Amino acid sequence: MSGRRIGVYVCQCGGNISDHVSVEDVVAAVQEEPDVVVARTAMFTCSDATQQEIIKDIEEQKLDGIVVASCSPKLHTFTFREMSKRAGLNPYEYTQVNIREQCSWTHTDDKAGATEKAARLVRAGIARTRLTEPLEPIVVQTVPRVVVIGGGIAGLRAALGSAEIGLPVFLVEKGARLGGWVGEFDGMYPHGKNGRQLMNALVARVRRHPGIKVFLNAEVVEKSGSFGNYEVAIRVKRDSAETQAETVAETVRVQAGSVIVATGFDAYPVSDGEFGYGLEGVLTLPEFKRLVDAAAGPLEFDGRPVRSIVYIYCVGSRQPEGNQYCSRYCCTAAVHASLLVTARGAQSGGEEGRAAGGAVRPRAAGGPPRQYHLYRDIRSYGKYELLYNESREKGALYLRFPDDDPPVVERAAAAGAGGSGYRLTVTTRDLLTGGEELTIPADLVVLVTGMVPRENDELVKVLKLPVGNDGFFNEIHPKLRPVETVVDGVFICGACQSPKNSAEAVTSGLAAVTQSAAMLKRGFAELDPLIAVVDAEKCEWCGACLAACPYEAPRQVEVDGKAVAFIDKATCKGCGGCVPVCPTDAIDLQGYTDAQIRAMIAGLLQELTLCRA
């Protein structure tokens, strides 16, 4: 008996837990434990109503410790800490026990076993709670400035957005100019806006804004300090004043509360030979877009009018081998580009028609280029469907090729298909017409290429950015925390996170501004006090802790003439790496002390009798 008054709440999570764990049996197994004053089940412990009930228990039963056995602490640690605060209980007197991800969901075939395991886990949680102590969060003043990395549309808009709500920005662009991909193009979907003009205007606004300082030819090379108080080193290359050939690097150090990463994407690099790439007239989508943008009138290629274009979709995307993800933007981008071609007007050219034998014959004269879209699924989601409709209404042909039987692009026979001088032929099967095999003569073949993550190894290292299986940066949670990363105060937005079109990239850029501002506008941040502390009497400074620390939190200080370790509160992440390496056991981790861990192990292993209450 420790004299504590502990409340234990075992969650059914609708049926997520109670379908596979007998929560009543768990309660029965632990309600007689010493110090347990209240033990009950709840359908959704996280629901507001149940929280109110727990608050009532805390107040009426004078509880001084809470155990909630429900889901992963990732989900609800903050929920129940906030609840404890509202009840006047120190939030660190609460213990989250995971009996969902680590129990009910993993043992769906063994209810008895899962129930026993849950009971043991809950008992360990009670054991930990007996030894909790009230802790106060570490309050750090935050710096109301933001570093934005990337001068594309997402980064520029994020910089402007942040400055406009009173948080000045250091904008760091690797290249020599601002504007990114969008600045390279003319008409963009869905509203036909001219990307170049759009970006010129945006860049001008950014340049004009007194709250934004732009670094071109610059890279973030170092980040130190802690959340809310980062020092970021920016290496800026400048052409030497004397000799233009030589570049000089200069490092600028800035203080910032947060970092927004908007480093964008690269176009899928098509290999030579992939769908005929390398043959004259076979272009990637960005190459084709530049060609269309450059054309004042009817489309020409290599000095000759373009009469027939074949688009091959999902090049470099949705591949069983290689990039498995869908690049999201490319269907609509290709549809939109083909509409621009139609709008560029008619070419004198050949009439084409579909022959019964499968070959497509050129037509006699007039009309815009014939356009053939060879696709798997057209993904013109939402309002973009209207573009797809318009394209079909204007005569584009959509042919669906089997997922496992992609089109083949070849150089046309010397005389051209039908002697009409087409450079290329594309052979495909069209499921929409009974799987018939067709050979389409083409002046141009457009490979509708997707997005790939940018090479950012240096930045990943500097910021410790989490990278997903697909190579894009990972958020903490796509719904709960979609622009935050596991590194506090480092946000991601735009296409560096996943393929996005420009409007979506801007949206996520502004969302990152909001998230950053929600933290910085307060002027201070609260950090978890679950950190390592040194017992100066036991410590005989040896440096082992410093060597073990990934964050360089320990440093040597002198106390009463003795060299000991001191751990910087704001830098320590509470990983516990230093605790076991200390030869004198001088370090303990607040919230997970050695005594608590031992008590938890004892709680797990102690004999357990399960019987229904």
Partner 1 sequence: MSGMKYDALVVGGGIGGMESALKLGDMGYKVLLVEKDSSVGGKMILLSKVFPTLDCASCISTPKMGATVHHPNITVLTYSEVESIRRDGAGGFHVQIRRKARFVDEEACTGCRQCEMVCNVAVPDEFNAGLVSRRAAYIPFPQAVPKKAVLERAGTSPCTAACPAGIKAHGYIALVRSGQYEKAFELVCEATPLVGSLGRACYAPCEAECTRGGLEGPVSIRRLKRFIADTHYAKGRGPVDVPPSNGKKVAIVGSGPAGLTAAWHLARKGYEVTIFEAASQPGGMLRLALPPYRLPNEVVDEDVANVTEIGVKIVTDRRVDDLEALRAEGYDAVLLAIGTHQATKLRVPGEDLAGVMRAADFLKAAKLGEELDVAEKRVVVIGGGNVAVDVARTALRHGASAVQVVSLESYEHMPAHPQEIAEAEAEGVTFRDSCGVAWFEGDDAVRGVELMRCVSVYDDKGRFSPQYAEGTVGSLPCDAVVVAAGMRPDSGAFGLPVNASGTVQVDKATLQTSLPHVFAAGDVVLGPSMITSAAGQGRRAAFMIDRWLQGEELDPEAFDGPLPTVDKNAVLARQVTHSELRPHDARENVALAPGEFYEDEETMTEEEALYSASRCLDCGVCSECRECVAICPADCIDLQMKGSEVEAEVGAVILATGFTLFAADAKPQYGFGCYKNVITGMQMDRLLAPTRPYNAVLRPGDGKIPGSIAYVLCTGSRDETVGNPLCSKICCMYSIKQNQLIMGALPLADVTVYYMDIRSVGKGYDEFYEQAKAMGATFVRGRISEITEKEDGNLIVAYEDIDNGGGMAQAEHDLVVLAVGVQPGGDVGRMFPEGGPSLDKYFYVGEADEDLDPGRTDMPGVFVAGAAAGAKDIPDSILHAGAAVAQAAAYLEKAGVTI
SS3 content of the chain, % helix, strand, coil (to 5): 30, 30, 40
- If the CB atoms of residues 372 and 384 are measured against partner 1, the closer one turns out to be 384
Contact 485, 465 (CB under 8 A): yes
- Site map for partner 1, 414-453, x if CB under 8 A? -----------------xxxxx------------------
Contact 163, 212 (CB under 8 A): yes
- If the CB atoms of residues 527 and 578 are measured against partner 1, the closer one turns out to be 527
- If the CB atoms of residues 474 and 593 are measured against partner 1, the closer one turns out to be 474
- If the CB atoms of residues 208 and 383 are measured against partner 1, the closer one turns out to be 383
Tell me which of 239, 250, 377, 594 binds partner 1, using CB under 8 A.
377
Q: Is residue 384 close enough to count as binding partner 1 by CB under 8 A?
A: yes
Tell me which of 144, 151, 155, 161 binds partner 1, using CB under 8 A.
161
> What CA–CA distance (Å, rounded) separates 209 from 166?
11
Q: Is residue 293 close enough to count as binding partner 1 by CB under 8 A?
A: no
Nearest partner of 344 among 375, 316, 369, judged by Cα: 369
Minimum CB separation of residue 546 from partner 1 in Å reads: 36
Tell me which of 380, 391, 428, 571 binds partner 1, using CB under 8 A.
380
- By CB under 8 A, the count of residues binding partner 1 is 82
> What CA–CA distance (Å, rounded) separates 40 from 514?
39
Q: Is residue 33 close enough to count as binding partner 1 by CB under 8 A?
A: no
Kindly indicate which of the ranges 128-136, 156-164, 251-259, 551-559 contains the residues binding partner 1, using the contact rule CB under 8 A.
156-164
Tell me which of 33, 35, 164, 568 binds partner 1, using CB under 8 A.
164
Q: Is residue 41 close enough to count as binding partner 1 by CB under 8 A?
A: no
According to DSSP, residue 138 is labeled: E
Q: In 13-129, where do the E strands start and end?
A: 36-42, 65-70, 94-98
Kindly indicate which of the ranges 90-98, 385-393, 418-426, 536-544 contains the residues binding partner 1, using the contact rule CB under 8 A.
385-393
- If the CB atoms of residues 29 and 490 are measured against partner 1, the closer one turns out to be 490
- Site map for partner 1, 305-334, x if CB under 8 A? ------------xx-----xxx-x------
Kindly indicate which of the ranges 260-268, 280-288, 452-460, 494-502 contains the residues binding partner 1, using the contact rule CB under 8 A.
494-502
Contact 361, 353 (CB under 8 A): yes
Kindly indicate which of the ranges 164-172, 341-349, 441-449, 454-462 contains the residues binding partner 1, using the contact rule CB under 8 A.
164-172
- If the CB atoms of residues 49 and 245 are measured against partner 1, the closer one turns out to be 49
Nearest partner of 283 among 315, 305, 328, 317, judged by Cα: 315
- Site map for partner 1, 497-526, x if CB under 8 A? xx---xxx-xxxxxxxxxx-xxx-xx----
Minimum CB separation of residue 514 from partner 1 in Å reads: 4
Q: Is residue 104 close enough to count as binding partner 1 by CB under 8 A?
A: no
Tell me which of 8, 13, 149, 447 binds partner 1, using CB under 8 A.
13
Minimum CB separation of residue 504 from partner 1 in Å reads: 8
Contact 291, 301 (CB under 8 A): yes
Minimum CB separation of residue 53 from partner 1 in Å reads: 10
According to DSSP, residue 484 is labeled: B
How far, in whole angstroms, is CA 112 from its chain's centroid?
A: 39
Q: Which two tokens stand for residue 395?
A: 């005569």
Nearest partner of 372 among 391, 358, 356, judged by Cα: 391
Contact 536, 562 (CB under 8 A): yes
Site for partner 1 in 43-62 (CB under 8 A): 43-44, 46-49, 51-52
Q: In 412-493, where do the E strands start and end?
A: 424-430, 436-442, 444-449, 451-453, 490-492
- If the CB atoms of residues 83 and 578 are measured against partner 1, the closer one turns out to be 83
Minimum CB separation of residue 496 from partner 1 in Å reads: 12
Which amino acid type is present at position 86? R
According to DSSP, residue 104 is labeled: I
Minimum CB separation of residue 254 from partner 1 in Å reads: 22
> What CA–CA distance (Å, rounded) separates 208 from 277?
43
Strand, coil or helix: 307: coil
According to DSSP, residue 356 is labeled: T
Minimum CB separation of residue 139 from partner 1 in Å reads: 16
Tell me which of 483, 530, 534, 578 binds partner 1, using CB under 8 A.
483
Q: Is residue 134 close enough to count as binding partner 1 by CB under 8 A?
A: no
Q: What is the DSSP string of 529-583?
A: ---EEE-TTT----SHHHHH-TT--EEEEEETTEEEEEE-TTT-----TTTTT-T
Q: Is residue 492 close enough to count as binding partner 1 by CB under 8 A?
A: no
- If the CB atoms of residues 45 and 347 are measured against partner 1, the closer one turns out to be 45
Site for partner 1 in 538-597 (CB under 8 A): none
Kindly indicate which of the ranges 77-85, 135-143, 351-359, 574-582 contains the residues binding partner 1, using the contact rule CB under 8 A.
77-85
- If the CB atoms of residues 365 and 432 are measured against partner 1, the closer one turns out to be 432
Q: Count of CB atoms within 10 A of residue 1's CB?
A: 6
Minimum CB separation of residue 411 from partner 1 in Å reads: 31
Query: Residue 164, exposed/middle/buried by CB under 10 A (0-12, 13-18, 19+)?
Result: middle
Helix (H) or strand (E) holding 177: none
- Site map for partner 1, 169-208, x if CB under 8 A? -------------------x-xx-x----x---x------
According to DSSP, residue 71 is labeled: S
According to DSSP, residue 93 is labeled: G
Half-sphere exposure of 178 (CA within 13 A, CB side): 26
Q: Is residue 209 close enough to count as binding partner 1 by CB under 8 A?
A: no
Contact 150, 454 (CB under 8 A): no
- If the CB atoms of residues 364 and 381 are measured against partner 1, the closer one turns out to be 381
Minimum CB separation of residue 487 from partner 1 in Å reads: 19
Query: Residues of 237-264 as b/e, b for ≥16 C-beta within 10 angstroms?
Result: beeeeeeeeeeeeeeeebebbbbbbbbb
Q: Is residue 132 close enough to count as binding partner 1 by CB under 8 A?
A: no
Q: Is residue 210 close enough to count as binding partner 1 by CB under 8 A?
A: no
End-to-end alpha-carbon separation of the chain, Å?
23
